[in-house]
Amino acid sequence: MILQFYNTLTRRKEEFQPLVPGRVGMYVCGPTVYDYAHIGNARPVVVFDVLYRLLKHVFPQVTYVRNITDVDDKIINTHNETGEAIGAITNRTTRAFHEDMAALGALAPDIEPRATQHIDQMIHMIAALVDAGHAYAADGHVLFSVPSWNAYGRLSGRNRDEMIAGARVEVAPYKSDPADFVLWKPSAPDQPGWDSPWGRGRPGWHIECSAMSTTYLGETFDIHGGGQDLIFPHHENEIAQSTCAHHQKPFVTTWLHNGFLMVEGEKMSKSLGNFYTVHDLRKEFPGEAIRLVLLQTHYRQPLDFTKDGVELARHTLDRFYGALRQTADIDDMDVAGPAVPDDKVSAALADDLNTPLALSHVHELVSSLNKAERDAGAARLRAVLLASGRLLGLLQNDPEEWFRWQPAGVQTLDEATIEARLQERMKARKSKDFAAADAIRDELTSAGIVLEDGPSGTIWRRV
C-alpha cells in the first residue's frame, strides 16, 4: 500500500518511504505535565494514534516515541502556587494523562521518555553544539547561535524579523543575537537543577526533544509530529540543534502537523468558560464519542469542538454499535482468513490520513451489515467492520458496555434492577397483562432506559 502524507518541510503531499525498508521511527511531542490535558492537547494524541495504527498495519516494525516534559517553568510555577512537590505534580498529571488518553482509545507509545531521565544526553548534545561553534555560554546560560546556521527558518518559512517577533524572545543582555534561544539556563537553589559544565541548571524545552528523539530513533529518523503551533519556534529549533550537533546530518524526513482546535466557536480560554479538560469531558461523554469528534475533521483543518458535536458523535456510535449488537450472535461464525480492514477505509487513511472519508466508508459498512442476511457473508462483513474500526481506534468496546455507559454521578437504575424489571415485563406479557408490561416500559423510559424488542429478545440501553 502506498502512503502519502503532507510534509510541512516540503509543503506538499509526498509518498512516504521509511529510511530503512520495513522500519519506521516516529516521534511526537508529548505533554508538559503540570495540569490536566485539555481537548486541544488530545487532538495530536488521537491524530498520531491513527497514524501509528496505520503504520503498524503497513510496516513490520514501527517505533513510536512520545516524550513527557517533566521539567519546565510551568511545573515550577504550579509548585510555587500550590506548594505541591514537583515530583508529585508530574507523577499525578502523567497518570491522569495516561488515563485520559486511554479513554480516548489512544494506544500507548512504544517508548515514553521523561525529560528528567535524559539530562546527560541533553548536556552531551549542548556540549557538541558549543564545540561545533553553534552555541555559546553566557551568564550561566547556554544559547544556540541562530546566525551560525543559515538553514534556520526552513520549516516555518519565516524571515528573520517574523522569527524574532513570533518567538516573543526576550532581548536579554546575555544574548549576542535577539533570535538566539536557550539550551541551558541556571537554576536557583530552590529550583530543580543538575550539575553541568556551565553550572547548576536545567535544560530549555527544545533541547529535550532533540536529545530524546535521537536517543531512541537515531540521528536521522522518519516522522516527527505535533500541533501546528509547534512549527515555530519549537520544531524549527529542534531541527537546528539536531542537525548542527550531528555534523549536518538531516534530522527528520517527514514533518506532520495537526491543525488547531477551537471550542464552541472560540479560542479556548479559562475566562470564556470554554476550557474543556479531557478529564471533565469524560464525566459527561464516553471517551470514544470524544475521539470520534476529533476524527470527523481532517487533521490539517481547524476543528471547532462543541458539546453538541460530541452528543451527535455519540448517536453515530449508537448506530455503529447497534449493528454490532444486532449481529453479535454471528460473531463466532467461521470467517475465511484473517479479518483485514476494508480497502476503502485503509486507502482513505493512506491518503494523508483522510479520516472523514474513512468514516464515511465505515457508515457504508454498517448499512450493509444492517441489511445483510445472517450468514457467513454477514459474519465476514462484521469482522471487516471491526478490523476497520481497529485501524481508526473505534468500535473496540463490547457493544453491551457501550449502551450501558452513563455519565459520572448520575443515579439511575443499576443493571441488576433493570434486568429484574425486564423479567417481570416478560412475565406480564406472557400472561397477556399488557397494561403491566407497558407500565414497566414507561417506568424504565423515565429512568433513561430505552427498550428495543427484537427477534432475539429485548435489549436495553441508556440514553
Is 43 near ligand AMP (CB under 6 A)? Answer: yes
Instruction: List, as one string, the DSSP characters of 157-198.
Output: T--HHHHHHHHT----TT-SSTT-EEEEEE--TTS--B--TT
User: Under the criterion CB under 6 A, does residue 44 sit at the interface with ligand AMP?
Assistant: yes
Amino acid 48 reads F
Size of the site for ligand AMP (CB under 6 A): 15
3-state secondary structure of 261: strand
Cα separation, 234 vs 121, whole angstroms: 18
Report the alpha-carbon distance of residue 416 to residue 175 in Å, rounded. 69
Task: Write each residue from 154 to 173 as x if it is in contact with Zn ion (CB under 5 A), else as -, in one continuous string.
Answer: --------------------
240 binds Zn ion (CB under 5 A): no
**Is the alpha carbon torsion for 74, 182, 223, 147 positive or negative?**
positive
Q: Kindly state whether residue 29 participates in binding ligand AMP, applying the rule CB under 6 A.
A: yes
- In the complex, the smallest distance separating the C-beta of residue 382 from Zn ion, rounded to whole angstroms, is 41
Q: Give least dist CB 66 to ligand AMP, A.
A: 10
In the range 198-217, which residues lie near Zn ion by CB under 5 A? 209
Measured CA angle at 351 (ends 350, 356), to 5 deg? 100
Which residue, 42, 45, 7, 53, is CA-closest to 396?
53
What's the CA gap between 316 and 13, in Å, rounded? 31
- Residue 126 interacting with ligand AMP (CB under 6 A): no
DSSP string, 302-336: -EEE-HHHHHHHHHHHHHHHHHHHHTGGGTTS--S
Here the cell at position 124 is: 552531551
Kindly state the smallest distance separating residue 345's Cβ from ligand AMP, in Å. 25
Minimum Å gap between C-beta 16 and ligand AMP is 20
Using Cβ positions, the residue closest to ligand AMP within the complex turns out to be 227
Of ligand AMP, Zn ion, none, which one sits near residue 44, judging by CB under 5 to 8 A according to partner kind? ligand AMP
What residue 40 binds from ligand AMP, Zn ion, none (CB within 5 to 8 A, per partner kind)?
A: ligand AMP
Site for ligand AMP in 210-239 (CB under 6 A): 226-227, 229-230
Judged by CB under 6 A, does residue 41 bind ligand AMP?
yes
Query: Distance between CA atoms of 288 and 294, rounded to whole angstroms?
Result: 10
User: x/- binding map, residues 264-283, to ligand AMP, per CB under 6 A?
Assistant: ----x---------------
Task: Tell me the residue type at 8.
Answer: T
The smaller minimum CB distance to Zn ion, of residues 28 and 263, is found at 28
Residues 24, 29, 217, 381: which binds Zn ion (CB under 5 A)? 29
> Which residues here bind ligand AMP, judged by CB under 6 A?
29, 31-32, 40-41, 43-44, 226-227, 229-230, 258, 260-261, 268
